[in-house]
């Protein structure tokens, strides 16, 4: 375990070289190497990426299966390292593959958008940010492939599942809080469940065993996912509706149970019946943006009065459903007690400074129109009905949750005035207060409004897509009247959806591996610019860049990986592009698409450019609505175009030969 | 030309600072959806620290462990969730407002944001937004809020300033465009353009043009510059995918919203040159109805959504005296940096009269009147009457000269259309010895480029003590 990374990586590489087909024992073996050497995860990841990039096309897919097996069985930190370049790793390989292999890769991608099957981890294998980029690229690729007369990609088969993924009965170890901090390697006994001899357990070329009722279970899960999506839609447009909230929470809990526990057949059957009963009885209208949220008419406590089908105790009990022995650190979440305290007295923010926990419930903050002393409110017109399937489901669920939920909470009093007492009993029970369900619900963008045509791979896990920026659909119309409607539920997109705040400057980051990396780089940057001597060293204002430099300039902020280590400022060198390296995306317009370069009359060759995430014409530039070879144009337009008669030293440290510059004689420091 | 660095140049503050004593702080609780509005003069400082909850300053979130210092600022701290602030120092005025326009502004953001999502999915150009309205209707505040929310949403939007009254990342009298990939600063307006060392706030990389007049109704420079900037911004957006998706947001001058009998020539010019497709009209009913009429029912043309937003109650008329101080603070901060910990070191230079190629912007009607028509060879007329060559004299003392990228012998319209490298300040003119003392942001030679001198911003006396 104290081997240097190079040696481990070399071993790994050797083993990889031998992998020429989808050989399960070899893949398992490589997975074990990766698992036992997580302290060399970075080196191993680089090795794997290099191998996928350089090996022959027909050997790439087995190597991708290794990647798949590692991220699913070992998880972090591999998901972090491999996630960084996944787009490139995937797309580089994809463009070289035949149709059949592409289909297999699409299948892999599909599973990466979901949690590892049977695992306790509820989040997808790779962050949606990572997979979405690839999806978008595939989308474009297939569109352009069609336009260019290439054979269209066959419709992918959603049932495709040939990932060599062993069952997830192993506990994942905790990821380091910060990717830069090395977590002590956990004792091996902890992984006793990991198949020591995978070949015998997972015979070659066989899909891993599924639970007997797996297809039924999958159906049920899909049904639940659908219900969740519908309910979220309804809830998003009516945040104050307690019954909806209860139902949503119950459904999300159910989803958790289905994903994490193996239920005996009769319980499964009971659940199925409940779900079936729910399905037709969801007359909640689809989300209609034009319906304004009615300002609450009367102050009400946030919990339903006694006698309502689901009381706060049940809510709490349900919320206490087994938090997966989480592998990746979750951003600090406020306790439910804390949240309730704020909710019930919005005018009195908690006296405890909680600067790192800005998780309030926007849905419950008092709208501007009503006095701030009025707590959150529920429209009187939306009481939950006793005896609805929802209530039954909730009761059913609370049974499942019983062994884990704190007994005191299960039997908690039902009177509102006993809430303080209830809360007083649970100040030290942070797991109870997982408010994730509500926060997720409040993110509430109806997944069903996403035009499915833009999503190449319909995903069963709609709930997970909710925070994806691409799904922010035209919910807010561009009209004067629409601007006046209160939509407090949207605020969570600017807060809870990006929960990791930098205490120094207030910039927020997503709670994903990528977001954490960005934050880590951001904190590095803060540290670097804090150089106390900087001000004393004759720092001065730089010249502005010229028009041409500015047009070619691309923002690189302090969180991007390209940030050089000495770099510090949110402005890396503006790489001046050579004409030959210029490109334009292949135009959609058919006239442009078939037009030759107006100067030399030669046609352009389309090419997939990974950096551009697009199909492009290289050595091309678009001027005044026409596309020219960049080299032709440069030749033609010498001195014309956008003139910059004298090009002085740039602030970026480049030097030009011209004497007639306003810049300093001494070289401007690049920073 | 002699460069004389290290002459112990110091910025001369208008008044001595009264920094608040550490002990003299107070607690301000804010309920959800309310804002704390304050005005602090240039000679004083107000500090604000977030103790709990969340708070934003024009859309940029306050860092939980930061103390922000405001000088010469009229601003507000808004909270969506409720918060507790610790406030130090003396405000000229302060109060808590329960009615704000933030809900409609955040709706505006999400409406624009949905177009960005569409752009990301389809590859078509992102939203092009123009904010118009009378003076003191909160245009810049809205632009900042929209920019901040867009950045927070992970976008890389472009901000374009076409209001000469206040500079964006540059001095007043300039027009600029910049893509934001990092947060909008809280204490220092839009933040800082690049400096030669590390900056505690990520610097922004603006493209700057010099307008040099206070009033955009002066058509002979305004429209050509708008056209030029639109060309540059459009060129950038054609290849800069991140900014292309995010689109741009243009801030404008209140003066172009006055119009002439219902015709808003300059607004229409901006819309067509930049291909604006969302027009936010702040405050004025009349402007809104005129523009709605103009941009509805234009079959065959790109649709422009005209949307009226209410003016925030926090918008106060800013006195000419305040605006002047603000301009001077912006100019001072161009040379010396902002605040106490970002001190920049400009350098002093001596130049001969003959070294300087100064072009003064011609003003007044006579230049237009002896033009044969309005269709000059550059399409805007008055091409030859833009500038007069100016010999240094006491007239230019205390003023700013824009260093263009044009050569001294370039055509006037080339000079007009060229972006600027920066500004130098005329500290002293010795008419006898024919020498000029200049303050330059950087050490080095005095540029031989065409230098443009306009009537705006006005003289800044005693920038150098
Ligand atoms: Zn920060
Ligand atoms: Zn050509």
Here the tokens at position B432 are 């006898």
pLDDT reading at B172 higher than 70: yes
CATH second-level architecture of B25-98? Sandwich (2.60)
pLDDT reading at A373 higher than 50: no
Q: Taking a C-beta distance cutoff of 8 angstroms, is the pair A662, B445 a contact?
A: yes
pLDDT reading at B180 higher than 80: yes
Chain A closest-CA separation from residue B98 CA (Å): 7
**Element (DSSP H or E) covering residue B250:** strand B248-251
Give the model's pLDDT for residue A261. 64
Best of A455, A542, A549 to disrupt the B interface (most B CBs within 10 Å) is: A542
Tens-place pLDDT, residues B236-275: 999 899 999 999 999 999 999 988 888 899 999 999 999 9
Here the tokens at position A313 are 């105790």
Nearest CB neighbour to A480, from listed B54, B183, B308 = B308
Tens-place pLDDT, residues A595-620: 888 877 788 877 777 777 677 888 88
Same-domain status, A15 and A121: yes
Here the tokens at position A311 are 């009381």
pLDDT reading at A209 higher than 70: no
Q: Mean of the per-residue pLDDT values for chain B? A: 87
* Residue A383 within a domain: no
B346-453 CATH fold: Elongation Factor Tu (Ef-tu); domain 3 (2.40.30)
> In terms of residue numbers, what domain contains A108?
2-126
pLDDT reading at A557 higher than 80: no
Residues of B with Cβ-Cβ distance to A483 under 8 angstroms: 104, 107-108, 111, 307-309
Give the model's pLDDT for residue A263. 63
* Residue A352 within a domain: no
The DSSP symbol for A145 reads H
Give the model's pLDDT for residue B63. 95
* Residue A94 within a domain: yes
Question: Chain B contact for A349, CB < 8 A?
Answer: yes
Question: Chain A contact for B84, CB < 8 A?
Answer: yes
Give the model's pLDDT for residue B434. 94
Tens-place pLDDT, residues A382-406: 333 333 344 444 444 444 433 333 3
Here the tokens at position A390 are 């929802």
pLDDT reading at A180 higher than 50: no
Give the model's pLDDT for residue A479. 93
Query: Within the 351-390 window of chain A, which residues sit less than 8 Å (CB to CB) from chain B?
Result: 351-356, 358, 360, 362, 365-368, 372
Give the model's pLDDT for residue A256. 66
Instruction: Determine whether the annotation assigns residue B136 to a binding site.
Output: yes
Question: Chain A contact for B118, CB < 8 A?
Answer: yes
Query: Quick one: pLDDT band at residue A637, thresholds 50, 70, 90?
Result: low
Tens-place pLDDT, residues B379-408: 444 445 889 999 999 889 999 999 999 999
Tens-place pLDDT, residues A2-27: 567 788 888 888 888 888 888 888 88
- The lowest-confidence range among A563-572, B19-28, B266-275 is A563-572
DSSP string for A152-218: PPPPP-TT----------SPPPPPPSSTTSPPPPPPGGGGTTS-SSHHHHS-TT-PPPPPTTHHHHH
Give the ipTM.
0.91
**What is the rounded distance in angstroms from the CA atom of residue B230 to the CA atom of residue A656?**
27
Chain B closest-CA separation from residue A434 CA (Å): 19
Same-domain status, A97 and A29: yes
pLDDT reading at B116 higher than 50: yes
pLDDT reading at B47 higher than 80: yes
Chain A closest-CA separation from residue B18 CA (Å): 22
pLDDT reading at A572 higher than 80: no
Look up the pTM and report it.
Answer: 0.54
φ, ψ at A515 (rounded to 5°): -60, -35
Same-domain status, A40 and A101: yes
| Residue A164 or residue A23, greater confidence | A23
Instruction: Determine whether the annotation assigns residue B141 to a binding site.
Output: yes
Give the model's pLDDT for residue B53. 95
Same-domain status, A516 and A629: no
Give the model's pLDDT for residue B199. 76
Question: Chain A contact for B263, CB < 8 A?
Answer: no
Interface contact A569-B443, CB threshold 8 A: no
Query: Quick one: pLDDT band at residue B226, thresholds 50, 70, 90?
Result: very high
Interface contact B445-A665, CB threshold 8 A: yes
| Residue A306 or residue A36, greater confidence | A36
Same-domain status, A13 and A119: yes
| Domains contained in chain A, number | 3
Nearest CB neighbour to A372, from listed B34, B177, B347 = B34
| Residue A568 or residue B131, greater confidence | B131
**Which ligand has the minimum distance to the alpha carbon of residue A557?**
1
- The lowest-confidence range among A174-178, A536-540, B339-343 is A174-178
* Residue A148 within a domain: no
Chain B closest-CA separation from residue A620 CA (Å): 11
Tens-place pLDDT, residues B348-360: 889 999 989 999 9
Q: Taking a C-beta distance cutoff of 8 angstroms, is the pair B240, B179 a contact?
A: yes
Q: Which residue's structure tokens are 């699409």?
A: A106
pLDDT reading at A413 higher than 60: no
* Residue A87 within a domain: yes
Residues of A with Cβ-Cβ distance to B242 under 8 angstroms: 554-555
Chain B closest-CA separation from residue A447 CA (Å): 14
Q: Taking a C-beta distance cutoff of 8 angstroms, is the pair A314, A394 a contact?
A: yes
A131-142: average pLDDT: 84
Question: Chain A contact for B2, CB < 8 A?
Answer: no
> For residue B37, what are the β-bridge partners?
B76, B95
- Region class of B432: left (phi > 0), else alpha (psi between -120 and 50), else beta: alpha
Chain B closest-CA separation from residue A377 CA (Å): 14
Proportion of chain B above pLDDT 90, given as a percent: 63
How far away, in angstroms, is A504 Cα from ligand 1 center? 5
Here the tokens at position B168 are 């964006």
- Region class of B121: left (phi > 0), else alpha (psi between -120 and 50), else beta: alpha
Give the model's pLDDT for residue A283. 38
Same-domain status, A8 and A101: yes
Same-domain status, A529 and A614: no
Same-domain status, A108 and A25: yes
Nearest CB neighbour to A540, from listed B200, B344, B418 = B344
How far away, in angstroms, is B81 Cα from ligand 1 center? 21
Interface contact B110-A502, CB threshold 8 A: no
Question: Chain B contact for A527, CB < 8 A?
Answer: no
User: Residue ranges per domain, chain B?
Assistant: 25-98, 102-309, 346-453
Q: What is the number of other CB atoms lying within 10 angstroms of the CB of residue A128?
A: 25
Instruction: Determine whether the annotation assigns residue B35 to a binding site.
Output: yes
Chain A closest-CA separation from residue B405 CA (Å): 6
Alpha carbon distance, N-terminus to C-terminus of chain A: 40
**Which ligand has the minimum distance to the alpha carbon of residue B61?**
1
pLDDT reading at A39 higher than 80: yes
* Residue A213 within a domain: no
Give the model's pLDDT for residue B27. 95
B102-309 CATH fold: Rossmann fold (3.40.50)
A163-177: average pLDDT: 38
Q: Which of A237-251, B187-201, B311-325 tops mean pLDDT?
A: B311-325
CA angle B45, B46, B49 (to 5 degrees): 140
How far away, in angstroms, is A502 Cα from ligand 1 center? 5
Among residues A126, A142, A157, the one where a domain terminates is A126
**Which ligand has the minimum distance to the alpha carbon of residue A631?**
2
A50-74: average pLDDT: 88
Enumerate residues with CB within 5 Å of ligand 2 (an ion).
A 597, 599-600, 629, 632
Question: Chain A contact for B156, CB < 8 A?
Answer: yes
- The lowest-confidence range among A148-152, A208-212, A577-581 is A208-212
Q: Mean of the per-residue pLDDT values for chain A? A: 60
* Residue A373 within a domain: no
Cβ-in-10-Å burial (0-12, 13-18, 19+) of B140 comes to buried
Give the model's pLDDT for residue A165. 43
**Which ligand has the minimum distance to the alpha carbon of residue A628?**
2
Query: Within the 9-68 window of chain B, which residues sit less than 8 Å (CB to CB) from chain A?
Result: 29, 31-34, 50-54, 60-66
List Cβ neighbours of A243 (8 Å cut-off, separation of 6 or more).
A309, A382, A383, A384, A385, A388, A390
* Residue A106 within a domain: yes
- The lowest-confidence range among A246-260, A464-478, B314-328 is A464-478
Instruction: Provide the CATH number for the domain around residue A115.
Output: 1.25.40.90
């Amino acid at each position: 375990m104290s081997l240097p990374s190079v040696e481990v990586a070399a071993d790994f590489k050797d083993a990889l070289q031998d992998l020429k087909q989808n050989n399960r024992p070899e893949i398992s073996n490589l997975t074990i190497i990766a698992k036992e050497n997580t302290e060399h995860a970075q080196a191993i990841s680089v090795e794997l990426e290099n191998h996928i990039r350089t090996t022959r096309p027909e050997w790439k897919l087995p190597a991708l299966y290794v990647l798949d097996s590692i991220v699913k069985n070992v998880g972090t930190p591999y998901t972090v390292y491999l996630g960084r370049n996944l787009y490139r790793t995937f797309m580089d390989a994809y463009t070289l593959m035949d149709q059949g292999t592409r289909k297999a890769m699409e299948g892999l991608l599909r599973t990466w958008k979901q949690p590892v099957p049977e695992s306790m981890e509820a989040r997808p294998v790779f962050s949606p940010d990572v997979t979405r980029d690839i999806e978008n690229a595939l989308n474009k690729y297939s569109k352009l492939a069609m336009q260019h007369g290439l054979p269209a990609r066959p419709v992918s088969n959603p049932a495709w599942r040939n990932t060599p993924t062993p069952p997830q009965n192993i506990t994942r170890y905790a990821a380091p809080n910060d990717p830069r901090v090395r977590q002590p390697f956990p004792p091996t006994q902890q992984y006793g469940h990991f198949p020591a001899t995978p070949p015998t357990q997972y015979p070659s070329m066989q899909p891993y065993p599924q639970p007997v009722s797996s297809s039924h279970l999958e159906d049920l899960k899909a049904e639940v996912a659908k219900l969740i999506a519908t309910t979220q839609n309804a809830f998003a447009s009516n945040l104050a509706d307690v019954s909806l909230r209860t139902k949503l929470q119950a459904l999300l809990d159910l989803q958790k149970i289905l994903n994490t526990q193996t239920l005996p057949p009769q319980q499964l059957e009971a659940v199925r019946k409940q779900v079936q009963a729910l399905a037709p009885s969801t007359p909640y209208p689809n989300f209609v943006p034009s319906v304004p949220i009615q300002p609450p008419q009367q102050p009400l406590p946030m919990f339903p009065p006694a006698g309502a089908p689901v009381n706060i105790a049940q809510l709490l009990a349900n919320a206490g459903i087994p938090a997966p022995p989480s592998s990746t650190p979750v951003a600090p979440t406020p306790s439910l007690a804390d949240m309730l305290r704020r909710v019930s007295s919005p005018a009195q923010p908690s006296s405890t400074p909680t600067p790192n926990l800005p998780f309030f419930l926007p849905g419950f903050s008092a709208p501007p129109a009503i006095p701030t002393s009025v707590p959150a409110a529920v429209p009187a017109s939306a009481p939950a009905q006793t005896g609805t399937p929802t209530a039954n489901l909730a009761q059913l669920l609370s049974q499942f949750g019983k062994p884990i939920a704190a007994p005191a909470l299960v039997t908690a009093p039902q009177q509102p005035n006993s809430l303080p007492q209830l809360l007083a009993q649970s100040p030290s029970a942070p797991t109870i207060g997982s408010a994730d369900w509500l926060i997720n619900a409040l993110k509430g963008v109806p997944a069903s409004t996403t035009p499915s045509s833009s999503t190449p791979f319909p995903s069963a896990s709609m709930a997970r897509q909710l925070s994806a920026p691409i799904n922010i659909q035209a919910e807010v119309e561009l009209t004067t009247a629409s601007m006046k409607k209160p939509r407090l539920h949207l605020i969570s997109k600017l807060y809870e959806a990006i929960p990791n705040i930098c205490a120094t400057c207030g910039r927020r980051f997503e709670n994903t591996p990528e977001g954490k990396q960005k934050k880590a780089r951001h904190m590095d940057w803060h540290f670097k610019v804090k150089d106390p001597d900087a001000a004393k060293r004759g720092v001065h204002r730089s010249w502005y860049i010229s028009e041409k430099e500015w047009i070619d300039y691309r923002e690189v902020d302090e969180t991007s990986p390209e940030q050089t280590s000495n770099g510090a400022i949110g402005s890396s060198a503006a790489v001046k592009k050579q004409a030959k390296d210029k490109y334009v995306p292949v135009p959609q317009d058919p006239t442009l698409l078939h037009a030759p370069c107006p100067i030399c009359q030669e046609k352009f060759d389309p090419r997939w450019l990974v950096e551009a995430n697009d199909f492009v014409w290289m050595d091309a530039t678009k001027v005044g609505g026409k596309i020219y070879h960049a080299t032709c144009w440069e030749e033609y337009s010498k001195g014309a175009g956008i003139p910059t008669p004298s090009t002085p030293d740039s602030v970026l440290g480049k030097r030009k030969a011209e004497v007639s510059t306003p810049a300093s004689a001494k070289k401007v420091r690049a920073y | 030309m002699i460069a004389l660095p290290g002459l112990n140049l110091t910025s001369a503050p208008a008044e001595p600072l009264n920094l608040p004593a550490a002990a003299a702080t107070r607690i301000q609780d804010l309920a959800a959806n309310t804002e704390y509005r304050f005005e602090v003069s240039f000679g004083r400082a107000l500090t604000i620290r977030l103790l709990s909850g969340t708070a934003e300053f024009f859309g940029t979130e306050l860092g939980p462990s930061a103390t922000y210092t405001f000088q010469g600022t009229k601003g507000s701290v808004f909270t969506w969730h409720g918060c507790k602030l610790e406030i130090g120092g003396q405000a000229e005025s302060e109060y808590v407002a329960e009615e704000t326009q933030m809900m409609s502004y955040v709706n505006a953001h999400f409406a624009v944001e949905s177009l960005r999502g569409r752009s990301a999915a389809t590859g078509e150009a992102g939203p092009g937004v123009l904010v118009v309205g009378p003076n003191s209707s909160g245009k810049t505040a809205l632009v900042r809020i929209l920019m901040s929310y867009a950045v927070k949403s992970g976008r890389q939007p472009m901000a374009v300033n076409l209001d000469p009254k206040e500079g964006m990342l540059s001095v007043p009298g300039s027009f600029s465009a910049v893509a934001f990939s990092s947060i909008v600063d809280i204490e220092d307006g839009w933040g800082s353009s690049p400096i030669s060392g590390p900056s505690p706030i990520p610097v922004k990389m603006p493209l700057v043009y010099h307008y040099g007049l206070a009033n955009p109704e002066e058509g002979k420079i305004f429209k050509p510059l708008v056209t030029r900037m639109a060309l540059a911004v459009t060129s950038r957006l054609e290849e800069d995918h991140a900014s292309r998706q995010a689109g741009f947001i243009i801030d404008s001058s209140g003066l172009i919203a006055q119009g002439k009998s219902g015709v808003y020539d300059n607004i229409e010019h901006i819309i067509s040159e930049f291909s604006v497709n969302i027009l936010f009209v702040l405050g004025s009913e009349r402007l809104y109805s005129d523009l709605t009429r103009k941009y509805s029912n234009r079959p065959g043309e790109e649709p422009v959504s005209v949307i009226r937003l209410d003016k925030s109650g926090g918008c106060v008329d800013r006195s000419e005296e305040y605006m002047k101080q603000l301009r001077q603070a912006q100019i001072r901060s161009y040379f010396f940096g902002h605040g106490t910990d970002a001190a920049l070191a400009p350098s002093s230079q001596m130049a001969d009269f003959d070294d300087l190629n100064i072009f003064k912007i011609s003003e007044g009607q006579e230049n237009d009147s002896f033009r044969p028509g309005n269709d000059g060879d550059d399409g805007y007329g008055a091409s030859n009457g833009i500038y007069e060559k100016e010999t240094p004299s006491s007239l230019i003392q205390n003023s700013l000269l824009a260093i263009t990228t044009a050569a001294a012998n370039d055509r006037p319209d080339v000079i007009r259309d060229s972006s600027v490298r920066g500004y130098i300040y005329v500290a002293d003119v010795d008419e006898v010895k024919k020498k000029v003392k200049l303050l330059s942001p950087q050490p080095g030679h005095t540029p031989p480029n065409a230098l443009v001198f306009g009537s705006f911003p006005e003289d800044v006396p005693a920038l150098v003590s």
